[in-house]
Amino acid sequence: MPKITVLPHPDVCPEGAVIDDAAVGTSICRVLLDNDIPIEHACELSCACTTCHVIVREGFDSLEEATDNEEDYLDRAWGLTPTSRLSCQAIVAQEDLTIEIPRYTINHAKENH
């Protein structure tokens, strides 16, 4: 089974994480949620928002190409990069992945009072 390395994120995964048993054929978002990494997913994994946006730092080429619908949503994502994907649509293949969860999403902003 491929491994997913999650780079540290100050709110979602402060220490980072390594998931050694990511099931092939499962979305990155589902793998994260199943491993207690509370990535946002406002549309419940239906490719209707950008809250589960991730940047694939390693292993990007192992993922199937994004659909036109996913690309349309990605165009709206905060911090878009050439290796950005919606984690609800990016399906784990055979290769290990390293992902970064962006600091902000379009639908989420935290304020400190």
Distance CA 66, CA 59 (A): 14
A 10 A CB-CB count for 69 gives 12
Q: What is the pLDDT of residues 42-76, one digit of tens each?
A: 898 999 999 999 999 999 999 999 999 999 999 99
Helix (H, G, I), strand (E, B) or coil at 97: strand
A 10 A CB-CB count for 9 gives 19
The tokens of 112 are what?
């400190």
- Domains along the sequence of the chain with CATH: 4-100 (3.10.20.30)
Q: What is the pLDDT of residues 69-109, one digit of tens each?
A: 999 999 999 899 999 999 999 999 999 999 999 987 765 44
- Grade residue 111 by pLDDT with cuts at 50, 70 and 90: very low
Are residues 70 and 48 in contact, defined by beta-carbon separation less than 8 angstroms?
Answer: no
pLDDT at 107: 58
